[in-house]
Structure 1
């Protein structure tokens, strides 16, 4: 069966993706770190020139910027070591390291000027020196704040991605669980029918039934519940199932199909109709000597696909006027209906409807509506 790209696949990053993401994150840090301190150096240098400092002032500013660049690398390791501690506690822990880095930058400024690299670069007063150190303190505090903001944002993004991936995986697991709950009664009844045919020496019919069962089970187990198929493909799968049941019930099972031509290419979850048809056979055909008629309907209503599976059996006496089983015991007797409703809810959310009703003329009907989509269409 062809994959349907419109349905979500597993969203969790694989083990091979994590190292590449770590390398990309590390490269981004170095670009921002070196670029940021280079920007600080250039900004301070042009500002100094504008305020009358000599051209050789770059030697002092470069040494100071390199001190800040190296010091904040150590600060980065401290911030990473803080892990998931509350921001207020991290801020308190960073006070001393930030002051030390700013002091180191101020000391570098003093040492470079004392060495005579730029004799005209000395501040005019001691207060000017302290002002310079305070200015560097703001730079280091800004670096630490920006680093915390970016790392916190990255953690939140990763947590959000992990939550979305976990939700998607849970939906996939739920869909597969619902999809693979194949009714064992169908297998038992079919195998018993084959056994009876063998005992009656009707080998041709038994062989045909075994082949039909094999084809249906292969299709059922190979079909991915996360993929969608066209309505035509779905009806072909239902045909495999009905061929087996017609061998069992012969003329007691009658099928009427009314499908609008435009609906053949419409997409729907694989084997969506099979449990509904199985439910109709169990309650409207198998329990009555005269058997019954099962109807399959499909019509397009604007941007909606309307599907119906109905029968002319005794209906569901426990169903109230609102289409809800009157008691829990009755609800548990028709697991296929509940599974189909849950599959639609997981896949389409509020864009689908699933209605049950007893027909006025007798019988039972399941009606579903879902978005009308064809291969290659966006799910919006």
Structure 2
């Protein structure tokens, strides 16, 4: 007697967002529930009749009535599926007449079986008794329809929720990829300009090393999934590929200091999280000064938090007023790397992360990030 739990196909999410359950399994489930439900109605009514003094052959009447309900609700199922796009309250009103007809058919089946003298002594003693019997079947069929509506409405809402969650996840993935990959053109433009200059100066050996370094870094960048996390060791290895290219451009003008707590080498973080910050520091603290500059990469563990910092000894950011300016109030200017890294952390970690910019007292800019400390069981190679 139980309705099909997934009758509403219209609510199925697009294939790109998730495949619907296989039709075979859902049809099989319906038939098991339908057969078991009406079989249970037959058995309950039969044992109840025996307990109330009905003869043993009363099963013929109850079986015929149960079969009428079985086939009648099959037709009701298709009517309900045809009304799947309408509001549940309106569907309930539309089902009043079909439910009455099925209950009447079950009552008529009862009358026909008893008239055939299969069980003459099974007839109700009065017309009122027959009427109450029909009303009891009306409750059974109405309960079937109500349960069907509840289950299909619940399924539709669940599928809509799953589709919305899948769409949100895809939007987040697309946003992360956009934030990650829009950084590459800036770096690529600067590097190709440097290679072009080396070729014009006939410094072919240096140009060749720079092309090889660029190839290695781009291969790593394209292979790295922005949705996946890497260890700090892997992240700094990738930064090393990038810095080799920049050191070819700036030579001794670029100085890099790395300070990492031993416990942090296996910490997990988003791939290429630090590269845009290092690129930003080189652009503003190294490239614009004749004497170049120093970039520091720091990683420490503070309880269950991983603290990362990229600092430089350049001119700082005059637009920042005071120390520890919140990210939302810090002017973006044209520092794309800072804005993208901040937005990427927001998408990935929400309120569990922090991103801070401040001008250092001794000169330069410090970018500090904190995120949950998660690590794999690997130690530094």
Structure 2 equivalent of residue 147 of structure 1 = 148
Structure 1 equivalent of residue 307 of structure 2 = 306
Note the C-alpha offset of 1:376.
Answer: 7.8
Structure 2 equivalent of residue 216 of structure 1 = 217
- Equivalent residues in 2 for 1:96-245, closer than 5 Å: 96-245=97-246
3-state SS, counterpart of residue 205 of structure 1: helix
Distance in 1 separating the partners of 2:143 and 2:213? 73
Distance in 1 separating the partners of 2:266 and 2:189? 34
Distance in 2 separating the partners of 1:148 and 1:165? 25
User: C-alpha deviations, 1:336-357, integer Å up to 9, x for none?
Assistant: 1111111111111111111111
Note the C-alpha offset of 1:261.
Answer: 1.1
CA contact (8 A) 1:318 1:325 kept: no
3-state SS, counterpart of residue 298 of structure 2: strand
Does residue 41 of structure 1 match 2:49? no
Structure 2 equivalent of residue 27 of structure 1 = 28
CA contact (8 A) 1:253 1:292 kept: yes
Structure 2 equivalent of residue 292 of structure 1 = 293
3-state SS, counterpart of residue 95 of structure 2: helix
Distance in 2 separating the partners of 1:111 and 1:130? 15
3-state SS, counterpart of residue 354 of structure 1: strand
Note the C-alpha offset of 1:21.
Answer: 3.1
Relative distance call for 1:198 and 1:15 in structure 2 (3 A) is closer
Structure 1 window deviating more from structure 2 (359-368 vs 189-198): it is 189-198
Structure 2 equivalent of residue 274 of structure 1 = 275
Alignment RMSD (CA, Å): 2.0
CA contact (8 A) 1:299 1:307 kept: yes
- Equivalent residues in 2 for 1:256-275, closer than 5 Å: 256-275=257-276
How many residue pairs match? The answer is 365
TM-score normalised by length of structure 2: 0.92
Structure 2 equivalent of residue 333 of structure 1 = 334
CA contact (8 A) 2:18 2:163 kept: no
Distance in 2 separating the partners of 1:94 and 1:31? 24
Note the C-alpha offset of 1:367.
Answer: 0.5
User: C-alpha deviations, 1:23-44, integer Å up to 9, x for none?
Assistant: 3222222221111111110110
| Structure 2 residues without counterparts, runs of 5 or longer | 1-12
Relative distance call for 1:318 and 1:239 in structure 2 (3 A) is same
TM-score normalised by length of structure 1: 0.92
CA contact (8 A) 2:327 2:357 kept: no
Distance in 2 separating the partners of 1:184 and 1:35? 64
Structure 2 equivalent of residue 364 of structure 1 = 365
Distance in 1 separating the partners of 2:327 and 2:116? 92
Relative distance call for 1:331 and 1:324 in structure 2 (3 A) is farther
Distance in 2 separating the partners of 1:193 and 1:53? 100
Does residue 247 of structure 1 match 2:248? yes
CA contact (8 A) 1:320 1:326 kept: no
Distance in 2 separating the partners of 1:217 and 1:155? 45
| Structure 1 residues without counterparts, runs of 5 or longer | 1-11
Note the C-alpha offset of 1:19.
Answer: 6.1
Structure 1 equivalent of residue 325 of structure 2 = 323
